[in-house]
Structures are given as structure tokens and as C-alpha cells.
Amino acid sequence: MAEDNSYESMLCVKPEVHVYRIPPRASNRGYRAADWKLDEPAWSGRMKITAKGKMAFIKLEDKNTGELFAQAPVDQYPGSAVEAVTDSSRYFVIRIEDGNGRHAFIGLGFADRGDSFDFNVALQDHFKWVKQEGELAKMEASQSAEPKLDLSFKEGQTIKISIGNIKKKDASSAKPRPATGGLLPPPPGVKAGGTIPLPAQTNTAPLLDFGSSSSETQPNSDLWGDFTSAGSSSSTDAVKSGWVQFS
């Protein structure tokens, strides 16, 4: 994503800071605020920290007119542009630039430790964001450089999908019909509790004689003839009398 370098955001504002002339660094052990004339600041005013793209800017302004006294561009923190002193948490050495390639080191002090803490955190948070943006840009660049995986179907290619936990409906699980006590409904034309008329019989003997021997000859060899004879007169009489033949 392209950065809008024309947009400048405000990171921190402190209404009162002090600027000191500092002696040259005597050794590599760092700067000491005790070597400055802390009771005689060279300048006092307002401080702002702004951000534009990846850069941060420490601006020292007149508290009444807003006129710029000095500015320190910061490209990383911690770094050479801003350095804490070794003997106090309220003082720093910053490198100011005049815009023509010249720079100088001055002492910057806060009257309250809370103000110096805010100054420190504002710079840390900004460059933490810069680092995260850089890592995200590298990740996106590496992903775009990788060959894209082709997941489209080729001609003639099919796919089989298996869906689990689906069981066929068991015929035995069908809802049973309500029980009727084992009795069939009466045929049409017969009231409940009535009798079913039987076809007229020419023989007074029982239709089925379970007591007779199998060797005896029955007058009618076909015991079910009255029921199964489709064209017999007895079948016609049964229909006329309301009989329904069940198969």
C-alpha cells in the first residue's frame, strides 16, 4: 500500500521544555546532564513530535507565537538523533538540522518525569509501527512472488463428495398403523355387531368338516368352490346380498 507522505500526524505535545548548550562528549561513556548548567537553560518553549511517513520530527516552537526554533528529524529510535543521558531520565541529547545539511547537538530537558516518559513512549510506538509495516510489506511481496496455486477443474476432471451421517430410511422404522384388535372392518351394508350373510348353500352339511377322515369322499370335492367360482350363481347372490370377497 502506497504511503501518503503529505499527511503529517501529531504524536505528542508538551507545553514546556528546556534547551541546553552541551559540552563536547568527553568519552564514549555517554552524556551526563550533571555537566550542563541546568539552572541556566539557553531556551524554553513548547515541544511537538509529529510523524510523516516513516519519519518522526521533534519540533521546538515558541509557546506564544508558534515560531519554529529548531527541528530534529528522527529516522530511528533509539539512534543517533535522540540519545538519553546516563545520569537522569528527564534529559536527552537531540541532533537538530537546519535544512541545509548542517546539524548540531543540544540538550533537551523536561521539568516532570511524566513528560519525559510520554516523549519516550511516543517515539517508541511510532517506530514499532514502522517496523510492523515493513514486515507486512515484505510478507506481501514474498506472497506475490510465489506461483499461484491453480485450483480450477481440468477438462474431464470430476470430484467425488462423501457425505457422512446420512442413513437410509429403514422400512421397519415406518410408523405402524394403529391396531384394530385383529379384526377386519365389517363389509359395506353390515352394521357393527350384526351378522354377515353367507351365500346360499344347497347342502346342509358344514362347509368344512374337520372331523371327517381324509379317506371319506365329500359330496363336494372342492371345499372352497362357493367362494372362488367366478361365474357361479352363488357368487352372484353374494354380491347382491352385500358380500365382499377378500383376496
Predicted confidence band of residue 200 (pLDDT cuts 50, 70, 90): low
Predicted confidence band of residue 141 (pLDDT cuts 50, 70, 90): confident
pLDDT at 178: 56
Q: How far apart are CA 89 and CA 247, in angstroms?
A: 109
pLDDT at 36: 94
pLDDT at 88: 95
pLDDT at 108: 98
Cell of 140: 506481501
Predicted confidence band of residue 45 (pLDDT cuts 50, 70, 90): very high
Cell of 156: 474431464
Predicted confidence band of residue 50 (pLDDT cuts 50, 70, 90): very high
Comparing 15 with 203, which gets the higher pLDDT? 15
Determine the residue type at 140: E
Cell 537553560 sits on residue: 41
Which of 119, 38, 138 lies closest to 77 in space, CA to CA? Answer: 119
Residues 103, 97 contacting (CB under 8 angstroms): yes
Residue 40 above 70 pLDDT? yes
Q: How far apart are CA 90 and CA 107, in angstroms?
A: 11
pLDDT at 7: 86
- What are the start-end ranges of the H helices in the chain? 113-145, 225-228, 233-240
Residue 96 above 70 pLDDT? yes
Cell 537522569 sits on residue: 88
Q: What is the mean pLDDT of residues 72-99?
A: 94
Predicted confidence band of residue 74 (pLDDT cuts 50, 70, 90): very high
Predicted confidence band of residue 134 (pLDDT cuts 50, 70, 90): confident
Q: Which residues pair with 14 in a beta bridge?
A: 47
86-93: long-range pairs with CB below 8 Å, 24+: 86/29, 86/30, 86/31, 86/32, 87/32, 87/33, 87/34, 88/33, 88/34, 89/113, 89/116, 89/117, 90/33, 90/115, 90/116, 91/20, 91/33, 91/36, 91/116, 92/116, 92/119, 93/22, 93/31
Q: Which residues pair with 73 in a beta bridge?
A: 57
**Does the pTM exceed 0.85?**
no
Predicted confidence band of residue 101 (pLDDT cuts 50, 70, 90): confident
Task: For the chain, give every domain's residue range.
Answer: 9-143
CATH number of 9-143: 2.30.29.30
Question: What letter does residue 104 receive in the DSSP assignment?
Answer: E
Residue 21 above 60 pLDDT? yes
pLDDT at 30: 87
Q: Which residues pair with 50 in a beta bridge?
A: 10, 57
* 3-state secondary structure at position 130: helix
Residue 2 above 50 pLDDT? no
